[in-house]
């Protein structure tokens, strides 16, 4: 009888256990959680930074940014010295990346016009609209460079 009761309690506990919702975490904790949950293989922001540097485009700053708005596992924002903005997000798999791209277009295309969104395997690159000719050149270079990178 006691054993049955324990089983019942254990069953109830299991039924009511709820994983913490990401959206309810403080921002700092959410970023920590996302940084620790990067997929094992992806085209990484670090790769893009290195590849662009080899082609003469300097990333002036980069930082982890919140991934949940585009349903990604992990994201970084990068800005070139000339002010072009990029975001590289990693997803669990290619399908998730495609869904993330669709979600980003659905939520933000009207609000942030002129963006270009490309997927490569399970990664998504978002490039903002360029403000001038040099920005436009960098934008196309960044897209081509990203497309040529291999997940690692």
Partner 1 sequence: MFKPRLTIPALMALLAPSGALASSHREAPFITKNPKADATDFYIFKSYEPGRQDYVTIIANYQPFQEPYGGPNFFNMDPEAIYELNVDNDGDAKEDLTFRFRFDTQLKDLAVDAGGKKTSVPLVNIGPVSVNDASNQNVTESYTVQVRRPGKNEDVTNWKDGSKVFAKPLDYVGTKSLGAPEQYEAYAKAHVHDIKIPGCEAQGRVFVGQRKESFAVNLGVTFDLVNAPASIVAGGTTREARSLAPSSLDENNVTSIALELPVACLKGGKGDIVGAWTAASVRQVRIVNPRSTYELPSFEGGAWTQISRLSNPLVNELVIGLKDKDLFNNSKPKDDAQFADYVTNPSLPELLEVLFGSAGVVAPNVFPRADLVAAFLTGVPDVNANGSTAEMQRLNTALPATEKGKQNSLGAAACFVEGVLKLDNAGCDPAGFPNGRRPGDDVVDIALRVSMGYLLPKASAPSGQIAFTDATLQEDSQFDAVFPYLTTPLPGAP
Q: Contact positions toward partner 1, by CB under 8 A? A: 23-32, 49, 59-70, 72, 75-77, 79, 82-87, 89, 104, 107-108, 110-112, 115, 126-129, 131-132, 135
CB of 134 to partner 1, least distance (A): 9
CB of 125 to partner 1, least distance (A): 10
CB of 63 to partner 1, least distance (A): 4
Instruction: Tell me the Ramachandran region of residue 7: left when phi exceeds 0, alpha when psi lies from -120 to 50, beta otherwise.
Output: alpha
Q: Which is nearer to partner 1, 72 or 149 (CB)?
A: 72
Residue 8 neighbours by CB under 8 Å, 6+ apart? none
Long-range contacts of 129-137 (CB under 8 A, 24+ apart): 130/84, 131/83, 134/82, 135/82, 135/83, 135/84
CB of 86 to partner 1, least distance (A): 8
Q: Which is nearer to partner 1, 66 or 98 (CB)?
A: 66
Q: How many CB atoms lie within 10 A of CB 28?
A: 8
């Amino acid at each position: 009888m006691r054993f049955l009761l324990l089983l019942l309690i254990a069953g109830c506990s299991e039924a009511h256990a709820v994983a913490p919702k990401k959206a309810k975490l403080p921002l700092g904790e959410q970023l920590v959680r996302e940084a620790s949950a990067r997929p094992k293989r992806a085209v990484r922001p670090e790769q893009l930074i290195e590849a662009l540097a080899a082609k003469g485009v300097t990333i002036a700053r980069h930082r982890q940014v919140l991934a949940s708005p585009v349903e990604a596992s992990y994201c970084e924002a990068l800005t070139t010295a000339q002010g072009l903005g990029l975001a590289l997000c990693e997803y669990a798999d290619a399908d998730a990346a495609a869904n993330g791209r669709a979600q980003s277009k659905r939520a933000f295309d009207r609000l942030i016009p002129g963006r270009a969104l490309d997927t490569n395997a399970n990664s998504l690159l978002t490039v903002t609209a360029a403000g001038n000719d040099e920005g436009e050149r960098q934008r196309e270079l960044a897209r081509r460079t990203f497309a040529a990178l291999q997940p690692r």
